[in-house]
Amino acid sequence: MTTPDEMYDEANALKDQGDLEGAVGKLEEILKADPNHVLTHAALGVHLQKLGRLEESVAHAVKVTELEPNDSFSFTQLSVICMRCGKIQEAEDAMARAREIQMGAH
């Protein structure tokens, strides 16, 4: 049986070949086996935004922050995705949280 990490690598290969829809399909398969696979949620946040599936994109980016609540990059990514999806206040809130985490890390 293929592991979620192996499937993630397969999804990346599809993306690198220009098959973003195929990559998304493979990533969605991973979540059936491992609903909390952080890298998968992060990738889906980016790929779905590029495909115009904005609400799904934001939902996956939010999930990353739930799974990694002390990771400033997770909130930075959420901020970027929200900004690209036109959710400016949510983007600003996420960036503020990223900065709080970074300041607390020092």
**The dihedral of CA 22, 5, 32, 36: what is its sign?**
negative
Helix 20-33 and helix 38-50, axial crossing angle in degrees, nearest 10: 150
- Using CA atoms, how far apart are residues 88 and 80, in angstroms rounded to an integer? 10
Per-residue pLDDT for 106 more than 90? no
pLDDT of residue 59: 98
Which has the closest alpha carbon to 33: 67, 4, 63, 66?
A: 4
**Domains of the chain: residue spans and CATH:** 4-105 (1.25.40.10)
- Check if the beta carbon of residue 2 is closer than 8 Å to that of residue 32: no
The pTM of the full predicted model, rounded to 2 decimals, is 0.93
- Using CA atoms, how far apart are residues 17 and 76, in angstroms rounded to an integer? 27
- pLDDT one-digit tens code per residue, 67-89: 999 999 999 999 999 999 999 99
pLDDT of residue 1: 75
